Amino acid sequence: MGLVGTWASVVGNEVSIPLGRQRLVLLAMTSCAVCATGIGFLGPRSYLLAATLVLVYGLLIWLDSSSLTAGAAGSADPRRRGATLAVHSMAGYAGGFVGPIVIGWVLDLSGGMSVRGWGLAFLHIALITVVGQVAFRLLAPRDLAGDRSR
């Protein structure tokens, strides 16, 4: 998944040039929410399906990484660019820390290792992704030099 994700990050950055950074981010977030829901409810049907969905999800989750980082760096006050990128990274790693804990709670509260439990756990991820999408729209990031306008 690391190789797929790294490749997706680079390709996502290149695709964001003609497509537009903001469009790519919103497309990636929507795709992630749909894929996460699919993993939770369809993944238990077969190992091959689960592995495929997880690899696709890994690709999608990294697809907007470069575009988000470029947006954070490009939007930052030049005197505070380092601090902005530090907060940007910290927020990402905080999500990576808290997310598995919340998934564990959802699994515990929904009866444990079951299709229903995993479905609800990944549905939680999809909902958090939608919240991120709403936040992205509300923040209304400005276009950067080289961005294709909305």
Q: What pLDDT was estimated at residue 136?
A: 86
CA distance 112 to 89: 32
Q: What is the mean pLDDT of the chain?
A: 89
Identify the structural domains of the chain with CATH numbers, from first to last.
2-139 (1.20.1250.20)
Does residue 82 register a pLDDT over 90? yes
pLDDT tens figures, 59-72: 999 999 888 888 88
Are 20 and 49 spatial neighbours (Cβ–Cβ below 8 Å)? Answer: no
Predicted local confidence at residue 114, as pLDDT: 87
Tens of pLDDT, residue by residue over 14-51, are: 898 888 888 899 999 999 999 999 998 888 888 999 89
Residue position matching structure tokens 């005197």: 79
Q: Is the pLDDT of residue 113 over 90?
A: no
Please, which residues have CB within 8 angstroms of residue 111's CB and are 6 or more apart in sequence? Answer: 117
pLDDT of residue 146: 67
pLDDT at residue 149 in the model? 61
Phi, psi of 110 (to 5 degrees): -100, 15
Q: Among residues 43, 11, 40, which one has the least CA distance to residue 28?
A: 11
Q: List phi, psi (to 5°) of 30.
A: -65, -45
